Structure 1
Amino acid sequence: MPNEESWMTRLLTWLVLACCLSSTIVYGQTTGSDSANKENDDTEQKVVELEPMEIIAHFNKQSVLGLTASAQSITAEQIEAQQTTTLLPALNAVPGIRMEQRSPGSYRLAMRGSLIRSPFGIRNVKMYMDEFSLTDAGGNTYLNLIDPASIDSIHVLKGPDGSLYGANSGGVIRIQPKGFDVFQNQGSLLLSAGSFGLQQEQFSVQRSLDNDYSFSFDQSLTRSDGYRDHSSLDKKTYQTAHKWRYSEHKELRLLALYSDLHYQTPGGLTEAQRQENPRMSRPATAFTPSAEEQQAGIYNKTFFAGVAHEARINDKLTHSISLFGSDTDFENPFITNYEFRQEQNLGMRTYFSYQDRVNDNIQWQMQFGFEGQKGWNDIVNYDNNQGKPAALQARDDLDNTQSSVFYRAMVNLYDRWTLEASLGLNQADMNYQSHFPETPDPDGDISFGSIFMPRVATSYRLSDSLAVRASVSKGFSPPTIAEVRSSDNTINTELEAETGINYEVGLRWETANRRFITDLSIYKYNMDNGIVRQLNEAGAEYFVNAAEIKQKGIEAAIWAYLLPSSYDGWIQSLRVQSAVSYNHYRFGHYQVNNNDYSGNHVTAVPDWVWSNTLSFVFPKQIGLNISHNFMSKIPLNDSNTVYSDKYHLLQMKGTWDLNISSSFDMQLFAGVDNVLNEEYSLGNDINAFGNRYFNPAPGRNYYGGVTIEF
């Protein structure tokens, strides 16, 4: 583990290590009376009984202990434990996931190194909201449209799982919105403010009627001036989710989301500019205007909706079908052009599931289904005349089709040994028509082929608390629209899909009362035709295939409930979470023009990522959450001549819960971000033109507010 630099960080590190070596966590503590008591020196102590950790994976909810995949769940409480305007702290606590924010609202997410091809947004990862694919037919995912307060839970499956979920090579993330599992009528109003003009308002209400119908409505408003010049954010979201069990064996679910998002993009800085003034936006040069002069930014208005129906045909056979779609109005004034995009997407996912048992010791199930998406994209680029569109540069129509037919079989023997195999036939195609400028080939089709994606996996419980697992799976990730038609305004017909085989073994252990849980994964994934970002002489981006990217990694996580609930101590509860990732990512044979990068560290992937979380509960319902994230240095270009500095990010949030009445609660909270006042860049520009690699993040800053629950 890398050396620590500050005494505060060393103190936190040793505290976390001491906690992890004690005993102890985790999620899902049951409420009510304790299930057992034991005496110690005539003092009666409460023994906390913790529920099994479960995750929605492979068609149903399962215990994580016996799962054949590396997986983790994130609860709404974990999201709310830190700053509620962003998902960064919660997702960055998962080993193998790295989420970045170049400026407020500008997110990137990497799962197992996929950030190499995601200068903007998310690649290689398939994301769902319930059964509805949030990743569109073109491969893009607008995660920044979702309000964190509208999420009930997040379920993460790491490693290629295209046999069941379509094209991906990094993994699958499933977001469960509020409203589908409402157990009591409740509502909340959150108001907060903070440094750099931060203002936040969130309203949420959930209702359940006779256990047959439940719904939620969530609304939010977030505004910020931003730390840097020209980095303001204005975001409005409206979300509603409904679940109707209209008969004993049938239910209908509806989700609708509208988001109106605008954020300014300050642009990257050189090292000299960062040292001079980290708060400046990208300045003008002799050849290009500044980010502020061009009013660089993003405008995104998106409506996303889906409806799902589940029917239990008999006690063994069920059927599920979901229809979903989105409409996006997207604008991006940039330094060199002004882009407009109209995006429409439609999709369907359906499958039959059959479950049976031979006897009490042999249970089996199988699923057969289909998922398909169609996208229509109208993209127009103009000259950017100080934030106003001018002369036409290019106009293209691009349509995408992605489909997957999948089958899975699973057998469980003696409630200990799970064997499963799945196979998906994935297909991805794109057709284009260029309207301007005139080209020799104004239209055409691009096929990324039909590919079989198998997955074979097993899990064996050596005891009631220890399980080992292994899997072999194939990854497949075709280029997205943003890569085929990137900011150089040309259609790249030469890009190929990424493919590879992932080999993985893992171990999970938990104590009998689940107060201590640990998980370990080791994987190897050799990717062919890895997609990498490049920049031309004008600063416009384009993408190329690297011949091979060799990915080896180790991920380990520990959850510990160090102190059981006790109402007479100074510290009434203490939970610990620690996660570490080691990424040994290297280019295989990789040459661009006359530059040979073979054997170099893969761009934008740190060797080490380490996160720690301490959650305290004190008397008078006072809580304190401390999170720490360490990032080792990151190569910022393919030649490995420029690296970002390693850093330690420390965040704290304190809460005070007040019970006003039987139906009215209040929580006061205050937090500090970047407690150590580190100088760091939370999101760097990769292979940046003119050496503008850095997007400085804010120093020490503060926020506070109140949540009213009713």
Structure 2
Amino acid sequence: MRYLLVVILCFGVITVMAQAKIWVMDVSSGQPISDVLIKGNGFILTTDSNGMVLRDITTKVKVYLSHVSYYPQYYHMVPEMADTLYLTPNELALNEVVVHGFEMEKSLLEQPGAMAHLSGAQLMRFNENSMVDAFNTVAGVRMEERAPNSYRISIRGSSLRAPFGVRNVKVYWNDIPYTSPDGTTGLNLLDLSNISDVDIIKGPAGSIYGAGNGGVIRLNNDFSTFNKGMATAEYMIGAFGLYKYRLALQQPLKNGSLAAAYVKQKSDGFRNQSASEREVFQWSNRWDLDNDNSLTFNLLYTDLYYELPGALTAEQVEDDRTQARPGSEELNASIRQKALFSGMSYDYSLGKHWKTTTSGYITTSDFDDPFNTDYKKETQFGYGGRTSVSFEHTLGKHMNLNWVSGGEYQYSKTSADNFGNVGGRPDTLRFSDDLFVKQYFLFTQAEIQLPYDLSLTVGISQNYLNYDINRKADMATGKAYDRERNFEPVWVPRVALLKKIGINQALRATVSYGFSPPTIDEVRTNEGSINLNLNAEKGTNYEIGYRGTWWNSRLNTDLTLFYFELDETITTYTSPEGVTLFRNAGRTDQKGVEVSVGYDIIRKPEDIINLVHLEHSYTGHFFKFKDYLQKENDYSGNDLTGVAPNTCVNTLDVQTRMGVYLNVTHQFTDEIPLNDGNTVYQDSYHLLSGRLGWRKAFSNQWNFEIFTGIENGLDQKYSRGNDLNPYGQRYYQPALGINGYGGVKLVFTY
């Protein structure tokens, strides 16, 4: 009887003692987090490489989870329960956000320039078919979408000369030059899923990155932290026949990792002649070599088609916002582009003080563009690369030197044929060109850490650009000829001084020179003219700024004041045939203020609602033409075309312990002048959007997310992008009214 009692008691203990199992994941990426410290009453645990931890417990236990890169959180472990917790990255504090700018990787607080960072969570808080809304949350940045997949990016008014496409801004993808050598960027060839986070430099950065007065955008697609295999399936639907699906696979290797993804997106379009379809395939490999060296390979193939509804007059918009410009449907105004981009990047350590980074790429593209005025066919081949050598050394107790030098080279050849357009098909050849573009620059920069928490950065580059236009056929003249333009070498200096105040505040001052030569599309236009007299824009930017983190890293502030005086400003005008042409327009005065403030209203990891975060950004761009005479017209003193003087964005993010989240965004855009004479404006408007979702893990292998959202919740009548100085008063590209979307994501980890 005594032995039976012992057995019963032991059995009772065994039944009460049970395992609790939890997995800890990153809320934005869904990746497991290793080395999370879990403290309970009398025990300390850490998660393994799969983000998992086991604990034998007999009763409900309150534990505290902490990690250096994440907000802490409380949790109640219960016997025989398996659950997944999502931690929020602690990257809201400016001294925690690490960005790459001016060849220096350091916290945003210590960066000696006007910079911004968009994390993966910030990119994914909107409708994921476009990156427009995420970019527009950044003070000083305006992204437009005139037609589906037809993007423009303006940093401090830099899109004045861009009737279409991205110009005057330098773009890198995974440290590889992505902007073409003439200064244009096919941003629509990338899907949002090809980008994990973004670093943005605002204002001239030519001392390191070459031509472009707007600034620099670094698009990153980091998968260096993969520590387990993962298969992903996503599906999203939206208004007007929008759907998008993505299939992805990532696999750790013995000394690195690989990833592959396929995305297809299709929409019928809000307006007539506005359907679009895009397929993107990406393959990436990373090899971690000895001595912290690494080699990365990226291949991107895109098949893109989108229709061009064209701009409307005010009367046409009032009559029917969904109509296309007359002739667009009959002539099948559209773009079909197939592009292949492949590149490699190699980081190599040369010892304790030296390291190098070298990247190279090859790209090809087929471009087919029937339009209202003509039919253009292009094939392009290009290659290029960038290399830098850096040296870091301690000079004394309070002094440190970081020196970097290198160069960048790019070349492209484009065969471009322009035909007449008859019923959406190419007709008689009008002219045919071979276009050769070659640009390169050399740069050097030194950053010296001085006593009293001062940092001085001095950089300079020398830039070269050559256009060679070989006209093989010209039906207007019946002659073949060659035209060449060598732009004079340009020295581009930059000086920056930063003063840290304690560990959470910093003041900065910058003087930088910028230049931006015309693109090949501005020199050689669609009606056949070649304008070799078009000069490069040149200017000097003066800037002061402040960054600070307060209230236990719960309040962040970023303030920038700048004055940019630009000479030989390039503006657009339209011929009676509807062709966009370009001209130098004298000087502009560009005074501006950019403010960002973010703070946590609630940060209580033990509560059901554990995070409520507010963010506000204000852009004041008070830009004027200083000296602008065109024939009998004097536009001096007018507002700069296409620039809203005031823009304000407010965001609200709510996260709960159960995985439910809410993102709300309000954007105000002031009235925008649409012609140089300031006689036509787009009215101001307010946009309201929101996304509601739920993330849940059902085991250590399956993660699930479902979400729904609304765009333009106030049903504003506005243009997502306008035509500037158009012929025939066709200014407006109407945007969708109120609309919604929804989707699901499923991740299997193995």
TM-score w.r.t. structure 1 length? Answer: 0.91
Q: Which amino acid aligns with 1:100?
A: E
Helix, strand or coil at the partner of 1:260? strand
TM superposition shift of 1:513: 3.2
Q: How does 1:684-703 map to 2 (within 5 A)?
A: 684-703=722-741
Q: 1:575 aligns with which of 604, 607, 613?
A: 613
Partner of 2:352: 315
Higher relative contact order (CA 8 A, sep 6+): 1
Distance 1:159 1:428 in 2: 21
Q: Which amino acid aligns with 1:165?
A: Y
Q: 1:46 to 1:507 in 2, by over 3 A?
A: farther
Distance 1:628 1:489 in 2: 44
Q: Which amino acid aligns with 1:171?
A: G
TM superposition shift of 1:152: 1.3
Q: After superposition, give the CA deviation of every residue in 1:214-235 in whole Å (9 maximum; x if it has no partner).
A: 1221210000011111100100
Please, which moves more after superposition, 55-64 or 522-531? 55-64
Partner of 1:342: 379
Distance 1:554 1:574 in 2: 27
Residues 180 and 241 in structure 1, CA contact (< 8 A), matched pair in contact too: no
Q: Which amino acid aligns with 2:470?
A: Q
Q: In the alignment, is residue 524 of structure 1 matched against residue 563 of structure 2?
A: yes
Partner of 2:9: none
TM superposition shift of 1:576: 1.4
Q: In the alignment, is residue 79 of structure 1 matched against residue 160 of structure 2?
A: no
TM superposition shift of 1:60: 3.7
Distance 1:335 1:677 in 2: 30
Distance 2:231 2:116 in 1: 27
Q: How does 1:620-699 map to 2 (within 5 A)?
A: 620-699=658-737
Distance 1:589 1:69 in 2: 29
Q: 2:644 aligns with which of 582, 603, 606?
A: 606
Distance 2:479 2:443 in 1: 39
TM superposition shift of 1:264: 0.2
Distance 1:214 1:614 in 2: 36
Please, which moves more after superposition, 335-344 or 355-364? 355-364
Please, which moves more after superposition, 320-329 or 434-443? 434-443
Helix, strand or coil at the partner of 1:588? strand
TM superposition shift of 1:668: 0.7
Q: 1:494 aligns with which of 533, 537, 562?
A: 533
TM superposition shift of 1:350: 0.9
Q: Which amino acid aligns with 2:315?
A: A
Distance 1:251 1:602 in 2: 46
Residues 418 and 526 in structure 2, CA contact (< 8 A), matched pair in contact too: no
TM superposition shift of 1:35: 10
Partner of 2:11: none
Distance 1:254 1:226 in 2: 35
Q: How does 1:205-284 map to 2 (within 5 A)?
A: 205-210=249-254, 212-283=255-326
Q: Which amino acid aligns with 1:671?
A: G
Helix, strand or coil at the partner of 2:207? helix
Q: 1:492 to 1:215 in 2, by over 3 A?
A: same
TM superposition shift of 1:467: 0.4
Q: 2:419 aligns with which of 382, 386, 391?
A: 382
Q: In the alignment, is residue 566 of structure 1 matched against residue 610 of structure 2?
A: no
Q: Which amino acid aligns with 1:251?
A: S
Partner of 2:370: 333
Distance 1:282 1:440 in 2: 35
Distance 2:461 2:203 in 1: 15
Q: 2:403 aligns with which of 352, 366, 384?
A: 366
Residues 39 and 64 in structure 2, CA contact (< 8 A), matched pair in contact too: no
Partner of 1:615: 653
Unaligned runs of 5+ in 1: 1-25, 37-42, 284-289
Q: 1:313 to 1:625 in 2, by over 3 A?
A: same
Partner of 1:22: none
Residues 180 and 215 in structure 1, CA contact (< 8 A), matched pair in contact too: no
Q: 2:742 aligns with which of 694, 699, 704?
A: 704
TM superposition shift of 1:175: 0.6
Residues 168 and 184 in structure 2, CA contact (< 8 A), matched pair in contact too: no
Give aligned-pair identity as a percent.
32
Residues 183 and 212 in structure 2, CA contact (< 8 A), matched pair in contact too: no
Helix, strand or coil at the partner of 1:72? strand
TM superposition shift of 1:496: 0.4
Residues 150 and 178 in structure 1, CA contact (< 8 A), matched pair in contact too: no
Distance 2:478 2:410 in 1: 29
Q: 1:322 to 1:450 in 2, by over 3 A?
A: same
Please, which moves more after superposition, 328-337 or 50-59? 50-59
TM-score w.r.t. structure 2 length? Answer: 0.87
Distance 1:299 1:513 in 2: 52
Helix, strand or coil at the partner of 2:286? strand
Residues 38 and 63 in structure 2, CA contact (< 8 A), matched pair in contact too: no
Distance 2:38 2:629 in 1: 63
Q: In the alignment, is residue 57 of structure 1 matched against residue 101 of structure 2?
A: yes
Residues 127 and 135 in structure 1, CA contact (< 8 A), matched pair in contact too: yes
TM superposition shift of 1:352: 1.0
TM superposition shift of 1:189: 1.3
Q: In the alignment, is residue 146 of structure 1 matched against residue 194 of structure 2?
A: no
TM superposition shift of 1:45: 11
Q: 2:442 aligns with which of 377, 381, 405?
A: 405
Q: 1:208 to 1:134 in 2, by over 3 A?
A: same
Distance 2:229 2:620 in 1: 44
Q: 1:587 to 1:441 in 2, by over 3 A?
A: farther
Residues 296 and 346 in structure 2, CA contact (< 8 A), matched pair in contact too: yes
Q: Which amino acid aligns with 1:98?
A: R
TM superposition shift of 1:485: 1.2
Distance 2:741 2:29 in 1: 28
Q: After superposition, give the CA deviation of every residue in 1:655-690 in whole Å (9 maximum; x if it has no partner).
A: 011222111011111011110111111111111111
Partner of 1:447: 486
Bigger radius of gyration: 2
TM superposition shift of 1:34: 9.0
Please, which moves more after superposition, 699-708 or 184-193? 184-193
Q: 1:484 aligns with which of 497, 520, 523?
A: 523
Residues 180 and 242 in structure 1, CA contact (< 8 A), matched pair in contact too: no
Helix, strand or coil at the partner of 1:678? coil
Give the number of aligned pairs. Answer: 672
Distance 2:356 2:158 in 1: 34
Q: Which amino acid aligns with 1:263?
A: Y
Q: How does 1:111-130 map to 2 (within 5 A)?
A: 111-130=155-174
Distance 2:38 2:727 in 1: 61
Residues 179 and 240 in structure 1, CA contact (< 8 A), matched pair in contact too: no
Q: After superposition, give the CA deviation of every residue in 1:588-640 in whole Å (9 maximum; x if it has no partner).
A: 11122222211111110110111111111235321110011111010001111
Residues 46 and 566 in structure 1, CA contact (< 8 A), matched pair in contact too: no
Q: How does 1:148-167 map to 2 (within 5 A)?
A: 148-167=192-211
Please, which moves more after superposition, 530-539 or 201-210? 201-210
Please, which moves more after superposition, 319-328 or 636-645? 319-328
Distance 1:300 1:130 in 2: 22
Q: How does 1:532-543 map to 2 (within 5 A)?
A: 532-543=571-582
Distance 2:285 2:573 in 1: 44
Residues 95 and 557 in structure 1, CA contact (< 8 A), matched pair in contact too: yes
Q: In the alignment, is residue 169 of structure 1 matched against residue 213 of structure 2?
A: yes
**What's the C-alpha RMSD, in Å, of the aligned pairs?**
2.2
Please, which moves more after superposition, 413-422 or 606-615? 413-422
Q: Which amino acid aligns with 1:259?
A: T
TM superposition shift of 1:572: 2.6
